[in-house]
Structure 1
Amino acid sequence: MPSQSAPVRRRPLKAAAVVVLLAALSGCGLGDAQEPPRDESGAVTEAASAGAYAIKVGDCLNNPRAERLTEVEFVPCDQPHELEAFAASNLPDGDFPGDTEVAAKAEEFCLAEFKAFAGIPYDDSALELIHLNPTEESWSGEQDRELLCLVGAKGEPTTGTLKDSRR
């Protein structure tokens, strides 16, 4: 099950949570988890809880800050939501590089993608950045290699995308 790690922000006084995905759920993996309702373009069409592995770039979510993350609340992006998935990448196959290195790679990737998404550098932004990444258990049990970047307005819901928000 996912666990929450220590904050990893470069800006002082604005701590961001880092959540890691772990696949093992007493006998069933998150890779088999249900999907939220989506239209033909892949956009979520109604609020629904679904497995954490169902998150795709462009999805909007509520409350994915749990010590153990197995399910998240998907919300259509035209409704108030806490976070938006804005970038994803996969780490190369091989041995698990360790929690510290995986978190560092996720942070590096998400910070690099942030400016292209939001329109300003992260250090100049008031937004919160969170990344989801594999753990040793999900790496070996689910072949999980995905780094997933999420962004939100700290402490307040947003409606619509934060893309090019320059916030």
Structure 2
Amino acid sequence: MNTRAITRSALAAVGVVGVAVSMSACSLLGGQVATAEVGECTQIADLQSDEITEIPTVDCSEEHDAQFFHKFDLPDGDFPGNDGVQTAAEEGCMSEFENFVGTPYQESALFGNFIAPTQETWDQANDREVLCIVYLNDGTTTTESFEGSGL
């Protein structure tokens, strides 16, 4: 079974540091991996399981605490290792955080997160996609988009 890792990013005093959590997305039919579109909303708790076969989304006018804000592909080639994927994902996601939210990450009330390829999905499903997530980490929800929110 192909799995995709999800890694939570947190701001450290000198920069962004990733902290691994136990979430992954299993492959779907035909060797495709679970994905979502930029702008779609979700519940971060719906992504917190050992394995998921789809990434559940909700209309952003419904209660949610997370939103997909950017996605990009890592360069082809050999798997860069977990640390290499994490570094590239953090850099790629955080570079777009302010463009989406309207506030620099360091000043935001929101947190960053991402779903990234694992060695298995890289090799077996040609998975290169990083999916960036912005979310509330205080137990609250919203019925608004985080895009341009300035939170």
> What TM-score does the superposition give when structure 1 sets the normalisation length?
0.74
1:122, 1:100 → 2: CA distance? Answer: 21
Structure with bigger RCO (C-alpha 8 Å, 6+ apart): 2
In structure 2, the residue matched to 1:52 is 34
The runs of 4+ residues in structure 1 deviating greater than 6 Å are none
Question: Is the 8 Å Cα contact of residues 132 and 147 (structure 1) preserved in structure 2?
Answer: yes
1:85, 1:18 → 2: CA distance? Answer: 19
Aligned Cα root-mean-square deviation (Å): 2.5
Question: Which structure 2 residues correspond to residues 1-150 of structure 1 after superposition, within 5 A?
Answer: 1-5=3-7, 7-11=8-12, 21=24, 23-24=26-27, 31=32, 52-53=34-35, 55-62=36-43, 63-150=46-133
Q: Deviations over 1:35-63 (max 9, x none)?
A: xxxxxxxxxxxxxxxx722x111111122
2:18, 2:143 → 1: CA distance? Answer: 20
Question: Is the 8 Å Cα contact of residues 4 and 68 (structure 1) preserved in structure 2?
Answer: no
Q: CA deviation at 1:121?
A: 0.8
Cα distance change of structure 1 residues 102 and 81 upon mapping to structure 2, 3 Å threshold? same
The runs of 5 or more residues in structure 2 that have no matched partner are none
Q: Does 1:164 align with 2:148?
A: yes
The runs of 5 or more residues in structure 1 that have no matched partner are 32-50
Question: Is the 8 Å Cα contact of residues 4 and 25 (structure 2) preserved in structure 1?
Answer: yes
Q: Deviations over 1:91-143 (max 9, x none)?
A: 11111010111011101111110011111110111112111100000001111
How many residues matched? 142
